[in-house]
Amino acid sequence: MAYEARNYEQLLGIEGLSDPLMKNHFTLYQGYVANTNKLADALNQMLKDGKAATPEYAELKRRFGWEFNGMRLHEYYFGNMVKGGNSLDSGSELYGKLAADFGSYDNWQKDFKGTGAMRGIGWVVLYLDPVANRMCNAWIGEHDTGHLAGGVPLLIMDVFEHAFMIDYGLKRADYIEAFFKGIDWSAVAQRCANAPKATV
């Protein structure tokens, strides 16, 4: 069954991110969905044709991770944003967990923003490690490298240039501040609440 692109037009008009930037970003995301489907179809056909041991199959299989993660990370990213944002209740379980795991909420925020400000293209992900029941921020480069095995993504920020350059040029720190104003903390809390418990 084919993957379908989700509609995120409700984010148009979000403070700090222009409509032209967001529309370009939506188009980019739709391309990842389309390419994920094309690769899935091509891989299935090659499997039926007995070509699973070929270099071509191996390359398409590697490429699938890039396209799939490009699709899914954008869905997490757009899904943890909302016009006007909403604040994280300092009395909430999520706030308490961030404070406990990072020493304070401010420490978590500094670490997340600092990770996003690093040189390079990629993503910043607040993960919950369900084995240790501990949160950590991680850098994902190139969509498919740097993921924490078994980690549950809670908050995702895109720091590829397409996410900010139309509006901010090279001022990534200004984009990060704008992103924080649009975080949908209720979506992040829901992801945390729904996280599976895991053992290894």
Per the annotation, does 25 bind a ligand? Answer: yes
Long-range (24+ apart) CB contacts under 8 A made by 107-113 are 108/135, 108/137, 109/180, 111/137, 112/137, 112/155, 112/157, 113/173, 113/176, 113/180
Backbone angles phi, psi at 53, to 5 degrees: -95, 10
- Other C-beta atoms within 10 Å of 19: how many? 12
CA distances from 18 to 12, 165, 185 (A): 8, 11, 21
Per the annotation, does 106 bind a ligand? Answer: no
Closest CA to 157 of 98, 101, 112: 112
Per the annotation, does 147 bind a ligand? Answer: no
Edge-to-edge strand list for the sheet holding 134-140? 134-140, 123-129, 152-158
| Both tokens assigned to 117 | 């400000």
Q: Which residues contact 52 (CB under 8 A, 6 or more apart)?
A: 46
CA distances from 15 to 3, 33, 93 (A): 30, 26, 27
The annotated binding site is made up of 25, 74, 158, 162
The annotated binding site for Mn(2+) is made up of 25, 74, 158, 162
